[in-house]
Amino acid sequence: MTASQLAAAGEPDAEKAFFVADLSHVLHQHKRWKAYLPEIEPFYAIKCNPDPYVLRLLAGLGTGFDCASMGEISRVTQLGVDPSRIIFANPCKAASFIRNSAKAGVDMMTFDNTDELFKIARVHPAAKLVVRILTDDSKSLCRLGLKFGAPLVTVPALLEKARELKLDVIGVSFHVGSGCYDSSAFADAVKRARATFDMGKEAGYEFTLLDVGGGFEDDTFEATASILKDAISEHFPDRQHIRIIAEPGRYFVSKAFSLAANVIARRAPPAVEEGRDVEVDPEQPSVMYYINDGVYGAFNCIMFDHQAPQPFVLSLNGSFHVPASVPLRASSVWGPTCDSIDCVCAVTPLPTTLQVGDWLGFADMGAYTICAASQFNGFEVSKVIYTAGVGPGAAEVREVLRAFEGEIVERDLL
């Protein structure tokens, strides 16, 4: 409503799109993790959303961090996170990154090939290495096994080379793929990790770390946790001296962020504009709406993360109330750039009375959205408004942030 008033007064870009981040949801997910997987330490995969307040909150809660570059490592260490709470979980790293991680005190890092071992031996021989093995990721949205992971048949030779180079291999990691929708994939992966532990013993190592990676989905978390715990108990019954970590990303933030976008333009055929009764094909959109964020911005998740976000109406004709009786029409939603690929929704039902200046909302926009957004065509990346939420969680969020970094953080929360 304020944006409409500012736009009418001539304020430039008054109606710009924006995110709302509910940090109490991140806290809720942390508590949920501790309740169902108390034995496994979460190392947040910051690549999915490196939001500064998410990082501060998770750091204050004591989580670890999964970093894939020196930029990510620097972002975390600048918050005061101890290097022991960081894993450099990129199996194929630039030599300069490895050298600088040594300077930063980050020793724990993954590998899955011989060349990586030679690089590490040359520039960071004191590293604590974790061999990343290949698992079945065919049931995941993003199949990381296409790029990373050593097949089990190659592991003995890798460990033999590490031994020859006098490198310390401390454990095993795997990743069932980002956005795993089949929890049984974790059971198979743990079985493969057990075999790798045995290979390590034959090579003269006593592994002390099991990294079960990421792939945790909000909707299937309890089922995944149950399967994972059972698999660990079956294959690692004696784990008194084994540290178990994981690399959840979207699990923490996907539902914590929502996006509000303004309808900046509209295109409809004359019959629709005139309000005449026309035959409507529910499979073919009759009205095109243009909003001020798109696939080059927050909605890059459509292309890179296989998502299909659907809008809901935030405001209609200047009101937050949207009557259930409002008739719907098949419509399409487009981003603001001058590129035809910039389509947010090819077909979606929207109210027939939706007009320029109204607002659409999109839920579950916290993972792989802001982090990969660009400023193509001169459009700025949507800003974030933070809230501590409501209820008892709100007070706890504020307390954690206050204890971690003081009032400077507190003042930015709604």
Per-residue pLDDT reduced to its tens digit, 264-283 = 999 987 766 656 555 556 67
What kind and span of H or E run contains 383?
Answer: strand 383-387
CA separation for the pair 359, 319 (Å, rounded): 10
Q: How far is CA 56 from CA 73, 111, 411, in A?
A: 14, 28, 14
Per-residue pLDDT reduced to its tens digit, 333-369 = 999 999 999 999 999 999 988 999 999 999 999 999 9
- Which amino acids are annotated catalytic? 338
* DSSP letter assigned to residue 316: B
CA separation for the pair 182, 139 (Å, rounded): 6
Placement of tokens 């990721």 in the chain: 137
First vs last Cα of the chain: how many Å apart?
A: 18
The two tokens of residue 292 are 């001020």
Domains contained in the chain, CATH given:
2-19+254-387 (2.40.37.10), 37-248 (3.20.20.10)
The two tokens of residue 121 are 């031996």
pLDDT of the residue at 8: 75
Close Cβ partners of 168 (under 8 Å, ≥ 6 residues apart): 126, 127, 128, 129
Per the DSSP assignment, residues forming a β-bridge with 150 are 133
Q: Which amino acid is at 76?
A: V
Q: Which of 196-200, 253-257, 319-323 has the lowest mean pLDDT?
A: 319-323
pLDDT of the residue at 320: 86
* DSSP letter assigned to residue 282: T
Identify the CA nearest to 73 among candidates 104, 112, 48, 41.
104
Per-residue pLDDT reduced to its tens digit, 190-237 = 999 999 999 999 999 999 999 999 999 999 999 999 999 999 999 999
Q: How far is CA 317 from CA 290, 320, 356, 362, in A?
A: 16, 9, 9, 19
| Over residues 154-176, mean pLDDT | 97
- Answer whether residue 324 shows pLDDT above 60: yes
pLDDT of the residue at 275: 61
User: DSSP characters for 78-97?
Assistant: TTT--GGGEEE--SS--HHH
CA separation for the pair 285, 352 (Å, rounded): 12
With beta carbons less than 8 A apart as the criterion, state whether 99 and 123 touch.
yes
Judged by DSSP in three states, 400 sits in helix
Per-residue pLDDT reduced to its tens digit, 43-67 = 999 999 999 999 999 999 999 999 9
**Taking the model in full, what pTM does it have?**
0.91
Per the DSSP assignment, residues forming a β-bridge with 172 are 131, 210
* DSSP letter assigned to residue 150: B
Strands 41-45 and 287-291: unpaired
How sure is the predictor about 177, in pLDDT bands with cuts at 50, 70 and 90?
confident
CA atoms within 13 A on the CB side of 307: 24
Per-residue pLDDT reduced to its tens digit, 103-156 = 999 999 999 999 999 999 999 999 999 999 998 766 545 555 566 789 999 999
Judged by DSSP in three states, 284 sits in coil
Residue 6: CB atoms within 10 Å: 14
Residue 172: CB atoms within 10 Å: 26
The two tokens of residue 238 are 């004696």
